[in-house]
Chains A and B, each alone.
Chain A
Amino acid sequence: MRHIISLLMENEAGTLSRVAGLFSARGYNIESLNVAPTEDPTLSRMTLVTIGSDEVIEQITKQLNKLIEVVKIIDLTEGDHIERELMLVKVKAIGDGRDEIKRLTDIFRGSIIDVTDKSYTIELTGTSSKLDAFLETIGQGIILETIRTGASGLGRGDRMLKL
């Protein structure tokens, strides 16, 4: 199962490598990972997406909690949550294709943020599966470059990861 795990950790040098090292040392999957400081600059928040059986996910959370610099953890996928990922896609845009791409971008509520005579760069946010769907819809053939941030998320309502 795919899980989105969110961590609050001390904003210190080396914390990221402890998390990354843990995953590689224990053979856990990382689908994506992102991290940035929070409104409290002494803390950073990391979101990572991983895939594993219930037992593996249980071990992952326990092992993450064991890292000395990790303050708190939440497995977002265990309850109500909102998930967002940002993607930028540069696509070939020539001739009639230009309109078609614009139309699809609108349907997915993306926006074209850069235009050249041969290409569009599209910005799109949503759940990771929505981004996957967009890529599938426009088709591999015209994609020049993509970059994705990996999923981020928050619990809904009172579900919070806070000190």
Chain B
Amino acid sequence: MTEELTGAEITIRCLQEEGVEYIFGYPGGAVLFIYDELFKQDKVKHILVRHEQAALHAADGYARSSHKVGVALVTSGPGVTNAVTGIATAYMDSIPLVIISGQVPTAAIGQDAFQEVDTVGITRPCVKHNFLVKDITELAATIKKAFFIASSGRPGPVLVDIPKDVTQQKTHFSYPNSIHMRSYNPVTNGNTKQIKKAAELILSAKRPMFYSGGGVILDNAAGVLTELVQLLDYPCTNTLMGLGGFPATDKHSVGMLGMHGTYEANMSMQYCDVLIAVGARFDDRVIGNPKHFYSEDRKIIHIDIDPSSISKRVKVDIPIVGSVSQVLKELIKLIKASKEKTDAIALKEWWKQINLWRERDCLKYDRSSRVIKPQMVIEKLYAITKGDAFITSDVGQHQMWAAQFYPFDKPRRWINSGGLGTMGFGLPSAMGVQFANPTGTVACITGEASIQMCIQELSTCKQYQLPLKIINLNNRYMGMVRQWQEFFHGNRYSESYMDALPDFVKLAESYGHVGMKIEKPGDIEGALKDAFKLKKRLVFLDFITDQTENVFPMVPGGKGLSEMILV
């Protein structure tokens, strides 16, 4: 006979069985029994954040940088509503999370009880799945399912809502080794015929192009993708979510594509004749106006594990439902064995064209400026960290410059909110990254507006001695908003000026960290060097940057990929 445990004990035991190292959370009435059990053990370490949104972002950063499931624990009512932004952020970027939330006792559900919200209802549209556990005998199996669903197929957040009385009741505990769900069987192996057709089309291309996205990172397929691209000698672009999935410093890389993608990436995307989309979802920020995109004739192969990502925004010729790594491996096999070879002459012409586009030097900026150019800060950051840091980011211009000026050669190094674009993501996600990579160098590139959305986490960083380096590109504006207002709203900077900013140096110091303010281009390098020498301290670097700088290239809304605004 197995032992009888309380629901709270079972919850913790399940997390232990799943090998959970860290759980990011914040206590409250409905989860007190769970916190009590956390207290009695030391396998699962609880990280106390200062706001539930941060718990989610930290768990998310942990997951993105480690390929493990991130776990968060929040209380009922406001605990859950605070967490929603973080849950939606993870959902949009397909990040595997398990969220345990407390709920009012079963008998009180529906009575407008104290701190009651319909958690399953509120989170339904932004989770992969959620559960309300009303019966303690289903608790262990439900948690098992949650981890399984979160991490398989197209990953995503899964929430388990546990009423307080269920955490108190007792039942026999045994954790299932595996779980079978008749209603959930994600496909992983691509259809062999389709893969064969794809291989033929790939080899017949005259102007081929790889377009790779977050799916490559999520599936740990960077190595296979790189092998295939190099084998073929074809160009490759990455989405914002796919950065690091193909090494940016490899000669086949044309950089990021999309709204703020490089000239060469966007032109190649527009004018290729065979497009191989790998774990990418033809986002509106990526292809611009679909009509314009269609105006050029090209054949599209689309590899994605989620059938609903395929032919959603762009009709494709060869859909392949399957995991990126499996399908790419098959393709490599077929291509290596094939008698057909790539069209060397056409390819040479294509590369010639791409190199001409490259010469447009679309990322140039004024390097002799007397005010700090944000791009330069990131270039120096790249040099000083030898391109090997984990970089998290908030949302805005600084995010785009980070993506453009820090070439990522490895996956899981670039951590940002792409789909939801959540300001406030940078700092807490960096905490999670540091927990997952205790010896790694972690920097958060942020703006003076974004950082204030989760600034309270400087306290968490102090408590756990997280030696993050915060790179604040302080342009005194919600720069991305200001840029749109400059381009599309007649320079009317409505409510985008960041007035009454705190003294970030003193603020950092008051939390027990090191603060630095850098105002001259000549001081960038020295400050960064000093900061990274402080291996055990969090350093907040407040870079006072050019207020008027804009992100280029830019594909304006409604325009096509080849209609970029360039410097």
Contacts and interface: CB of A to CB of B under 8 A. Distances in A.
A68 B311 contact: no
Interface residues of B, number: 18
Contacts of B120: 14
Contact of B183 (A13, A55, A58, A69): A69
Given A9-B183, A59-B308, A59-B312, A68 B149 contact: yes
Nearest to B129: A68
A18 B124 contact: yes
Contact of A65 (B124, B129, B181, B307): B307
A148 B98 CA distance: 42
B312 A68 contact: no
B128 A68 contact: yes
Interface residues of A, number: 20
B183 A63 contact: no
Contacts of B311: 55, 58
Interface in B102-129: 120-121, 124-125, 128-129
A18 B184 CA distance: 15
Given A58-B311, A62-B307, A66-B308, A71 B124 contact: no
Contacts of B124: 17-18, 21
A71 B125 contact: no
Contacts of B149: 68
B182 A63 contact: no
A74 B414 CA distance: 41
A23 to B, nearest CB: 12
B60 interface: no
B69 to A, nearest CB: 16
A71 B182 CA distance: 7
A71 B308 contact: no
- Residue of B129, B308, B311 ringed by the most chain A CB atoms within 10 A: B308
B121 A68 contact: no
Nearest to B184: A68
B308 A68 contact: no
Nearest to A71: B183
A123 interface: no
A70 interface: yes
A85 interface: no
Contact of B181 (A17, A25, A68): A68
Interface string A128-155: 0000000000000000000000000000
A18 B125 CA distance: 8
A163 interface: yes
Contacts of B181: 68
Interface string A5-29: 0000110011001100100010000
Nearest to A58: B311
Contacts of B128: 68
A63 B154 CA distance: 13
Nearest to B130: A14
Interface in B197-241: none
B306 interface: yes
A9 B181 CA distance: 12
Contacts of A163: 182
Nearest to B158: A68
A13 B128 CA distance: 17
A25 B308 CA distance: 15
Interface string B171-213: 0000000000111100000000000000000000000000000
A35 to B, nearest CB: 15
Nearest to B185: A71
Contacts of B183: 9-10, 68-71
Nearest to A62: B308
Nearest to B306: A66
A17 B124 CA distance: 9
Interface in A55-87: 55, 58-59, 62-63, 65-66, 68-71
A21 B128 CA distance: 13
Nearest to B309: A62
Contacts of A21: 124-125
Nearest to B181: A68
A88 B307 CA distance: 40
Contacts of A68: 128-129, 149, 181, 183-184
Interface string B146-159: 00010000000000
A38 to B, nearest CB: 14
A126 to B, nearest CB: 33
Nearest to A8: B183
Nearest to A14: B120
Contact of B121 (A17, A55, A63): A17
A54 B311 CA distance: 11
A25 B307 contact: no
A96 to B, nearest CB: 53
A98 B86 CA distance: 64
B96 to A, nearest CB: 14
Nearest to A10: B183
A63 B125 contact: no
Contacts of A17: 121, 124
Nearest to B312: A59
Nearest to B149: A68
Given A59-B312, A62-B307, A66-B306, A25 B125 contact: yes
A55 B316 CA distance: 12
Contacts of A63: 308
Contacts of B129: 68
Nearest to A69: B183
B471 to A, nearest CB: 37
Contacts of A18: 124
A33 to B, nearest CB: 17
22 contacts: A10-B183, A13-B132, A14-B120, A14-B132, A17-B121, A17-B124, A18-B124, A25-B125, A55-B311, A55-B315, A58-B311, A59-B312, A62-B308, A63-B308, A66-B307, A66-B308, A68-B183, A68-B184, A69-B183, A71-B182, A71-B183, A163-B182
Given A17-B121, A25-B125, A63-B308, 17 more contacts: A10-B183, A14-B132, A21-B125, A58-B311, A59-B312, A62-B307, A62-B308, A65-B307, A66-B306, A66-B307, A68-B128, A68-B129, A68-B184, A69-B183, A71-B182, A71-B183, A163-B182
Closest 3 CB pairs of A and B: A62-B308, A71-B183, A68-B129
